Amino acid sequence: MSLTSSSSKSAQSERPRKIWWLVAVVVLALCVFVQLPAIWLFNKFAPDNNSIQQISGNIWHGSAIVQMPESFTTTATSPIPASITWQWRPLALFLGKLGADIDIESGQSQLHGQVNRSLSQWQLRDWSGKIDKQTLASFVNWQLPDAPIQVNAVSLNQVDDIGFEEVSGQLTWVGGDLGYPSGAKTYQILLPAMRADLSNEQKDGQQVLHANLVSQDGKRFGDIYIDNDAMLDVSLTQRFLENMPEYEGSAPADTAVVNVRQPLLGGS
């Protein structure tokens, strides 16, 4: 009697516990999910999005061509398509997020970094690379310098209904001759070398992204703010406008003499 009972307990102890069956099912489902063709996922959740084309690979690793809608631009020039490659980051799941390493190429522009998405926020982590003249010309109707904008270790959180948090990083530009149209005339300005130190701050009741424009030796050129509604506020100082040959204003160097508010993108 005792021997039979002991054998029964031993057999039960050797059976896998239910929790391990659950873990096995979850892992199997996850393995199947990441092998799904990426084009199936886009067709399922964005069937009418014509801006995403030539989708290849799977959820784990794949690529696509993205054509920015012309309504997002402010020029007659068609936007340059961007090639996007992704590599899924499974470790992000342990933090309750979907994450991927992203590489973007558009013309001579190259950017790479991490993107995470949780229930309430987007996260960009450690984005670096460059944005070239040709790409910028798709969005602004200006005569731009040849030098690209360098993107250095940019990170930020965009939280729904709150705004931008944990913003860090820097943009640098060596400057050059720039011409921008206003009415029937094009104004010229010799842009000095500058950098934009990125941060977030409280403004008008929400957290906004702040780019502090300064010269290489730290002198103030102005400020750029982007809010959660994709509105752009630009403030330029007397020091910055003194680089425009036709500018005749007079004020202390740190005084903001130009303030503009407009949508960040043409279609916003």
Least confident of 9-13, 75-79, 197-201: 9-13
Predicted local distance difference test score (pLDDT) of residue 14: 53
d(CA 130, CA 150): 4
In a domain, 44, yes or no: no
Is the pLDDT confidence value at 228 over 70? Answer: yes
In a domain, 252, yes or no: yes
Look at the alpha carbons of 245, 192, 143, 146 in this order and tell me if their dihedral is positive or negative: positive
Residues 6+ apart with CB under 8 A from 73: 79, 138, 139, 265, 266, 267
Domain count, the chain: 1
Residue with the larger pLDDT of the pair 106 and 184: 106
The range of the structural domain enclosing residue 182 comes to 109-263
Q: Quickly tell me which residue has 């021997």 as its tokens.
A: 3
Could you tell me the pTM of the whole model? 0.81
In a domain, 130, yes or no: yes
Least confident of 11-15, 101-105, 138-142: 11-15
d(CA 259, CA 236): 7
What pLDDT band is residue 86 in, cutting at 50, 70 and 90? very high
Look at the alpha carbons of 196, 202, 207, 208 in this order and tell me if their dihedral is positive or negative: negative
Residue with the larger pLDDT of the pair 33 and 216: 216
- Which tokens is 183 given? 């009415």
In a domain, 49, yes or no: no
